[in-house]
Chain A
């Protein structure tokens, strides 16, 4: 399996770091290619880096995750995006899915939760 290139979109530094650390654990499969701290940056970085996967936090300044998902999906319908929601409400999850997110992950999550969600997403994309 080819290494998946991942773009991490997250406004909290320690969360960005943590996600990177987690992905580092499976470095044969995943490679972090970039970070974005808000939706606007995410859209720009996506265009620039063309990653295979995007982890997208939803609550962010400047441009929120929902909006960013929409813009990225508009630009590249094949983009694979996993929404990471902190609110944990069905409304937010639905909003993310409606905007075009392919999978979702609730905070807090363990490393196990993360890879389960990622694998689920990849399986879905291969089908």
Chain B
């Protein structure tokens, strides 16, 4: 293209060059050789005209050059005289050149523009991703671009000159489109379904405009169609999902609604519609609360910031309590709506309140019970004092031996009762955390001996052997409680071991701890009872005729005392063979 333009230039330039040269030769020939005064300047118009057509405004240079030369020849020619006519003619050359150049320029520019526009349009049509087709008033395709070929499968050659009816899934669609375009002069984003060459439906969005001729008579339509199959499929999928979601929301027992940031209700589920009526589009405070302005406790601001808020709301109007979860919902356009789910928890609340009340009542009752028991234990002790006291006095009186024995029994029983009350009192005190360790250093050997000494008469009476193996070490603990632990375990062993049995008390020094074993050859404890013997008031033998009188508190006290020292206690046993009570306790309290 560029090459041919250069060649054209050369050929035009040569002709012009020869024309100008011919004019010069003519002027010299006429001016100097012929010595004539004839007017030859008419020939000058030839190169000026040529230059004007080909080189447009540059023609003026040719005209100026020729005028200058003409003036020179006239000046030096012997015959010719430099007259006004010479300048007049020269001026005419220039004016003619200018006019020709101007007109030629205008024309060339218009043509160029037209060419550019056409190329531009051709490019657009060709490279457009949208199908562009021109259809005349009879429905015959007149133009068919590349994109149309691509997604319809028909080439331009195949369809140009044929009817456009075959493209539509619905046969009337072609006429309908034409009608709309004729009526409105255009068609915008019209959704329709076309069939490609394989008869597969393609969803398109079509825009069309009416083409008119010079006189304004419609001659056809130009149609631009975009393949929106993917969008349509996506929309369908979204719709399906939304339908599913709606179905879930509809079938929920909880109320669900969505409001915009301006409090406008965008959605409400069935539960709410049943209760309040369908009021989508109204403001939530009006719909749900019958208010004229947003509710004071509304969480819209928080939710719009992206927070999820859960709170409880009590409606005095309905006398109901609701559990609300409010969460931001980002819309497709980037705005945020508030999704609120709420559940009527009035019933749960009521039960909770009842439970709380019951619990408070129970706590109060428990406190009362403790206080009562505390007083009761003390009150029970009071009459014991005169019983024991008077019994001991009575022993000194002049009474028969039989009577003396009775009195001694009374005193002993009273002492037993005292012990029981004391244990109950002690456990009550432990429960109220009133019992603390009174720490002192003492010899474990001495402590064990003290206990053994006090129980020896009992063991002797049952002809039992009491054996002790205790290291001569000092421990730091609550002496009174340690003695009580040993006393309880050993007394129990004596109590539950038949005559002639054996009780072994063994204390081991295990560095930081002492390990104590009290082993007997007694009746033993069955597996069923074993895990429960440290529980309060747990009695292995609950029959009224049981031999050993106890309230089952001794072992509870042992457990609590060992625990207070930071130790543990357990028992192993074999029915008929004997039991073994073991406790481990730190030698020193931290």
Contact = CB atoms under 8 A, between A and B. Distances in A.
Contact of B393 (A14, A15, A25, A89): A25
A36 to B, nearest CB: 18
Interface in B563-579: none
Contacts of B385: 15, 18, 86, 107-109
Contacts, number: 60
Contacts of B391: 110
Interface in B376-419: 378, 381-382, 384-393, 395-396, 411, 414-415, 418
B320 interface: no
B438 interface: yes
Contacts of B287: none
B422 interface: yes
A5 to B, nearest CB: 21
Given A90-B438, A109-B388, A18 B393 contact: yes
A18 B389 contact: yes
A2 to B, nearest CB: 24
A16 to B, nearest CB: 11
A112 B434 CA distance: 31
B382 A12 contact: yes
Interface string B102-120: 0000000000000000000
Contacts of A112: 392
B429 interface: yes
A86 to B, nearest CB: 6
Given A86-B381, A89-B429, A107-B381, A14 B396 contact: no
Contacts of B382: 12, 86, 107
A28 interface: no
Contacts of A76: none
B318 to A, nearest CB: 57
B406 to A, nearest CB: 16
B479 to A, nearest CB: 12
Contacts of A25: 393, 396
Nearest to B384: A108
A89 B396 CA distance: 30
B67 to A, nearest CB: 141
Contacts of B381: 86, 88, 107-108
Interface of B: 378, 381-382, 384-393, 395-396, 411, 414-415, 418, 422, 425, 429, 434, 438, 480
The 8 tightest CB contacts between A and B, nearest first, are: A110-B392, A108-B388, A107-B385, A108-B385, A111-B392, A108-B384, A18-B389, A14-B386
30 contacts: A12-B382, A15-B385, A18-B386, A18-B390, A18-B393, A19-B389, A22-B393, A25-B396, A86-B381, A90-B438, A90-B480, A91-B434, A107-B381, A107-B384, A107-B385, A108-B384, A108-B385, A108-B418, A109-B389, A110-B388, A110-B389, A110-B391, A110-B411, A111-B389, A111-B392, A111-B393, A111-B395, A111-B396, A113-B392, A114-B389
Given A18-B393, A21-B393, A108-B415, 7 more contacts: A22-B392, A88-B381, A88-B425, A90-B480, A108-B388, A111-B389, A111-B395
